[in-house]
Structure 1
């Protein structure tokens, strides 16, 4: 099954009656009293009463027998104290925990109370998304047994129908479908999501979308000629058909081209498994490397959001750079001198820095295309460096080139991320992050990575992409997103970042 189907008025319902017989549990997020979020009728007195029995209800998720709600089962999920430093993630986490607790209690038809919280303007959207995220079942589990899905969900905002709330629900369902696609690609194992299997999954996921156009480049000669750095990474895997590199271009075109005001071009790292290559990952560092395709997964997910929500003002081109960094007798190795599509010679210094090679030639091609497009903005999205995780933990590092920095785009991403529950940190590419990539020997324009560098590894990776992509002097807005910290590591499920933020900042939502 390619995606879990949530459809409004089929298995997702806007419910105005908290005592409806159609549900077997009600989930309520408990906000701190100082925020003054009004509770539904009858429930306030019930909570005041049980708070005298157990003050812990404001600290941990609990389940209570309550005559005032559907199913006579009330799940209370507290946010805990909310300080000025908190953003919408506190809502997402409470909704997620509440849904998990409801399922653990045996609920099959949960009803979620979606309050309107002044502190969080997009809080209702984030609340629904947090609950839906808890319902995600990995693709390979669904394919074995698809009977475990909760297929009946209620959402209660108030005791009357609201056009605005219905729009919020429709946005949430479209975004979750997009995130499911991304999680399926990112989280499935290296054999379930080989390059060819990703291609088939993507084609299936977009079948019937009249505004989406897909082009797959899989011919070995074309890969070698047009994507030489990707081809180098691909060499050790190129004799195994299911692991051979593919480049997938997905384009969203709105129905009326005259309304387009911006073109987005996104390049995603899709390394289906990263052994490190000849610079082999050792001491258990290889486990979890099936998540190295999270960037490409996010690009596909964002295109899915566009196909569903149909923003009239955007044209979007996404590129999935799919390959496997294997080790074998044909592995690319340090000391090789390669010629990129941009014409720059690059000395290989560490085969475990394959992600920048996987994206480099597509980035150059998209940069060349960008100058012909209307108001272009170029992105790379990748689980690129462990350094980004060391610097920022589970947050995404956003790095602008000179042109994007003139509009403070990374700051806009950070703001949108705070609104929709995805964390971003603004990082800065400085002159030394560009020059550190310059070749050191004769015949080298660039080196893959400076192995003597002691710091700024995610910044210099951004600098490498700018240089190899021919973007150093080009007046094209470009932002590199290193999602190594934010994408999610096993055993946690993939987060599908930064789909929500991109949809928010580029006004994809209805």
Structure 2
């Protein structure tokens, strides 16, 4: 299914020497130090004639180290106000690529002692470094399928690491492996083009992957009539695609339950936007902005990836339920259009304002279903705190506001529970940074009904980038249209439901690609979610 991980092994200082089990040594450090020169005497001659030696990624021949290859991988400053652990991820990814191009199949990463002293911002720098290295030796499923056709194989067999003075337990290594498994699933689903990963093929991949994961229960709704009845807003988006059988929608449900219910501290519910291609619908994306819309499925891809991480770790303290709304927003004579009024699952009348605001339509009815499941659980006596999430590459405004970072917004109960700051803190230590945004009264005012024929307005007629609070007000819409607005702070605490919206438009893929190519899918926010809810 997804590409198997290289084995990751903890090494000793002795493994740095030639003749050991590795064929390259990659030294990661902020700047050239006496300790580095002492560890690798071969660089003495270079530092003597070049004061800048070691300040950029460099490969040198050194017969005293494993494989005769020494790669110097400087992070640069780690103590500045804006420095963070991503510096490790970036340099180890680049160094791993360099090692592969040099022919190495078993590189060893070396971190000198006291590389980050006692800085808590870097408490997981080894994990982040390994994730950077692993990212360099992975290609998504469409690339692997091509390589299989031409007979190309993956060469990296093993990755070693030695962090002087750092105790790195088997549990920490298992955590790295689990995150990378999740990122690989997310990349497999999020990266391929819209025909390789249609809603049907997306669902098939998920079914096939979790078939071997007995701790996760998988179900798929294929019946169009059932989808229309249970998820009417999602069905409206998919309506135009129904003339093309291979583009038919799917709704996937994944369930993980702790095998020790008494230890469960949180019930987590995730809804992922899986728009496998977004033409904008009748409000078509014109002027070249449709390009890249095969990546509009990365919300669903990332929560499926997070569930893969959950399946690896089998946590005792959480239950996790995931819904994936998988559709294609096509354009044609049967497309849903602005001015339509459509009843949501909760019975709210939705006035469509812009068919290119399809993501909130796709997620609202599954979000309503999550609300129903929470209420059913409470009625059955399961009173562990429930946390609901919508996860999507939802708005260009998110990128305009915050650039390459994920964004999270809380409703009142989620704010009281500190959910978004937790995600921000978790992402910070694992190199998957988040910004915390705020849901305001203006967001509800924007979507308030203006006529007796509607209960909520889906969107205005402008792009989110041209709309004030363009990444915030969609959450207000989803809250109202799903009925979650009836479970806010104005209710007794036992009746409140925490809901957090996560917009990953800026972080699900790199902001730019090479030349005219599409950017690389990152697999985020799998690391942030793992650090927040599983660590």
TM range (shorter): over 0.9
Query: Counterparts of 1:447-458 in structure 2 under 5 Å?
Result: 447-451=457-461, 454-458=467-471
Shift of 1:326: 0.5
Shift of 1:173: 1.5
Does the 8 A contact of 2:398 with 2:407 survive in 1?
yes
Question: Cα deviation per residue 1:247-284 (whole Å; 9 max; x = unaligned)?
Answer: 10001112222222210000000000001111111111
Does the 8 A contact of 1:247 with 1:320 survive in 2?
yes
The corresponding residue for 2:265 is: 261
Q: Please, which moves more after superposition, 254-263 or 334-343?
A: 254-263
Pick the aligned partner of 2:349 from 345, 350, 361. Answer: 345
Q: Confirm whether residue 70 of structure 1 aligns to residue 66 of structure 2.
A: yes
State the distance in 2 between where 1:404 and 1:39 align: 47
Shift of 1:14: 2.8
The corresponding residue for 1:495 is: 522
The corresponding residue for 2:207 is: 203
State the distance in 1 between where 2:351 and 2:52 align: 59
The corresponding residue for 2:413 is: 403
Question: Cα deviation per residue 1:297-342 (whole Å; 9 max; x = unaligned)?
Answer: 0110111101001111110001100000001121111111111111
Pick the aligned partner of 1:18 from 11, 16, 19. Answer: 16
State the distance in 2 between where 1:427 and 1:211 align: 34
State the distance in 2 between where 1:483 and 1:48 align: 45
Q: Please, which moves more after superposition, 484-493 or 194-203?
A: 484-493
Shift of 1:117: 3.4
Q: Confirm whether residue 97 of structure 1 aligns to residue 110 of structure 2.
A: no
The corresponding residue for 1:113 is: 110
The corresponding residue for 1:443 is: 453
Does the 8 A contact of 2:191 with 2:295 survive in 1?
yes
Q: Please, which moves more after superposition, 430-439 or 444-453?
A: 444-453
Aligned-pair Cα RMSD in Å = 2.0
State the distance in 2 between where 1:411 and 1:53 align: 48
Q: Taking structure 1 as reference, are residues 272 and 57 closer, same or farther at Cα in structure 2, changes over 3 Å only?
A: farther
Does the 8 A contact of 1:58 with 1:78 survive in 2?
yes
Q: Taking structure 1 as reference, are residues 330 and 402 closer, same or farther at Cα in structure 2, changes over 3 Å only?
A: same
Q: TM-score of the superposition, structure 2-length normalised? A: 0.89
Query: Counterparts of 1:56-455 in structure 2 under 5 Å?
Result: 56-82=52-78, 83-114=80-111, 117-118=116-117, 119=119, 120-146=122-148, 147-157=152-162, 164-371=168-375, 372=377, 373=382, 374-451=384-461, 454-455=467-468
Q: What is the number of equivalent residue pairs in this alignment?
A: 500
Shift of 1:492: 2.7
Q: Taking structure 1 as reference, are residues 272 and 32 closer, same or farther at Cα in structure 2, changes over 3 Å only?
A: same
Does the 8 A contact of 1:217 with 1:223 survive in 2?
yes
Shift of 1:69: 1.2
Question: Cα deviation per residue 1:415-435 (whole Å; 9 max; x = unaligned)?
Answer: 111100011111000011112
Question: Cα deviation per residue 1:15-46 (whole Å; 9 max; x = unaligned)?
Answer: 3211244332111112136xx89649622x44
Shift of 1:58: 4.3
Q: Confirm whether residue 461 of structure 1 aligns to residue 482 of structure 2.
A: no
State the distance in 2 between where 1:476 and 1:298 align: 23
Shift of 1:57: 3.8
